[in-house]
């Protein structure tokens, strides 16, 4: 069933499937029971590091802070002296640096030709409370400054009011404003309330043109959880089966430990398959995760646990 909107046929979003909350929570918990050891663990840790979007989104951000974060993104092995002897390829770089639009040009210059992407939040992040024309200008400004990716937030107030076509149209407009930049659509799942609403918001975002769907801004609690991420991964799977189009996934906020990140990778592989196990299709929005991954890599190499005090604080 579809309804007419702006001379287009838009799906009836009230038809998104009902989610079995108990079933999702039980299945998500089973992924945490898996054990990954030795070489597989080391490969997994490096994969996690290569999927991280290092992020600074504070009012006190400065050019210097962004440049320092970019250096760490390119040279994570320099974060702790014993890792510095490894070659560049042994410890991979992260996937992207995520900053406010005003800092995009600084990050772009600092990263040079490293291949690390510059992502920028937009659309009145984190609240999303702004007129659409301002959101579009915000997006175009970020892209014109050099952003490779744009992380937008949906209008949760409109979503809760049942104005799904408004949310759809807004995402479609921002996607158009992105041009060649990839669009990550942040659902802010902690404000949505139920798995049914998370699934509906995921469907809207993908149908409107999202390249990625993302759990959270990281500014409210709860942020990413495994059950919520599982609901979103299943939405991506179903969308792929219907359209043949791959959509990326980014859990953000609340993932600070390597062990948990590895559990997320197990879940991605079992729900979506190995094709999604690259930073083109899966990201972690978790800057604090990077140091824990480096600590675990060093532990795997030396057999010794290290204190977080020996690693650079970002």
- Asked if residue 8 belongs to a domain, the reply is no
Domains: count for the chain = 1
Q: CATH code at 151?
A: 3.20.20.70
- Asked if residue 95 belongs to a domain, the reply is yes
Structural domain range at position 301: 27-310
- Asked if residue 286 belongs to a domain, the reply is yes
Beta strand residue intervals within the chain, DSSP E: 2-5, 8-11, 53-55, 96-99, 117-121, 149-153, 182-186, 212-214, 248-250
- Asked if residue 1 belongs to a domain, the reply is no
- Asked if residue 7 belongs to a domain, the reply is no
- Asked if residue 160 belongs to a domain, the reply is yes
The pTM is what? Answer: 0.91
Q: Sheet of 53-55: strands edge to edge?
A: 53-55, 96-99, 117-121, 149-153, 182-186, 212-214, 248-250
Determine the 3-state secondary structure of 244 from DSSP: coil
- Asked if residue 69 belongs to a domain, the reply is yes
- The C-alpha atoms of residue 142 and residue 127 are separated, in whole angstroms, by 18
Structure tokens at 296: 């675990």
Q: What is the pLDDT along the chain (314 residues), one digit of tens a residue?
A: 343 344 445 567 667 889 999 999 999 999 998 888 778 899 999 999 999 999 999 999 999 999 999 999 998 866 555 555 555 457 899 999 999 999 999 999 999 999 999 999 999 999 999 999 999 999 999 999 999 999 999 999 999 999 999 999 999 999 999 999 999 999 999 999 899 999 999 999 999 999 999 999 989 888 899 999 999 999 999 999 999 999 999 999 989 999 999 999 999 999 999 999 999 999 999 888 998 998 898 888 777 777 666 666 66
What are the catalytic residues? 151, 214, 250
- Asked if residue 135 belongs to a domain, the reply is yes
């Amino acid at each position: 069933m579809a309804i007419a909107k702006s001379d287009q046929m838009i799906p009836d979003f009230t038809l998104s499937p009902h989610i079995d909350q108990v079933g999702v929570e039980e299945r998500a918990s089973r992924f945490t029971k898996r054990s990954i050891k030795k070489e597989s663990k080391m490969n997994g840790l490096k994969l996690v590091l290569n999927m991280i979007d290092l992020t600074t989104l504070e009012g006190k951000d400065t050019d210097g802070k962004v440049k320092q974060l970019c250096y760490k993104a390119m040279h994570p092995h320099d974060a702790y002296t014993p890792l510095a002897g490894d070659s560049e390829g042994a410890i991979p770089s992260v996937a992207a640096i995520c900053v406010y639009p005003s800092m995009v040009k600084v990050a772009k210059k600092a990263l040079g030709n490293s291949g690390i992407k510059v992502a920028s939040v937009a659309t009145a992040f984190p609240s999303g409370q702004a007129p659409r024309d301002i959101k579009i200008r915000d997006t175009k400004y970020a892209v014109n400054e050099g952003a490779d990716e744009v992380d937008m937030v949906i209008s949760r107030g409109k979503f809760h009011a049942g104005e799904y076509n408004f949310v759809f149209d807004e995402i479609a407009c921002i996607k158009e404003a992105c041009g060649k930049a990839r669009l990550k659509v942040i659902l802010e799942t902690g404000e949505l309330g139920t798995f049914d609403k998370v699934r509906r918001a995921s469907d809207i975002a993908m149908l409107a043109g999202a390249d990625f769907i993302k759990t959270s801004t990281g500014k409210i609690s709860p942020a990413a959880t495994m059950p919520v991420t599982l609901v979103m991964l299943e939405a991506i799977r179903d969308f792929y089966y219907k359209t043949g189009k791959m959509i990326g996934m980014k859990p953000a906020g609340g993932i600070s430990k390597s062990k948990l990140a590895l559990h997320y990778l197990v879940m991605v592989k079992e729900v979506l398959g190995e094709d999604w196990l690259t930073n083109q299709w899966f990201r972690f929005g978790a800057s604090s995760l990077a140091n824990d991954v480096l600590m675990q890599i060093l532990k795997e190499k030396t057999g010794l646990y290290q204190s977080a005090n020996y690693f650079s604080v970002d």
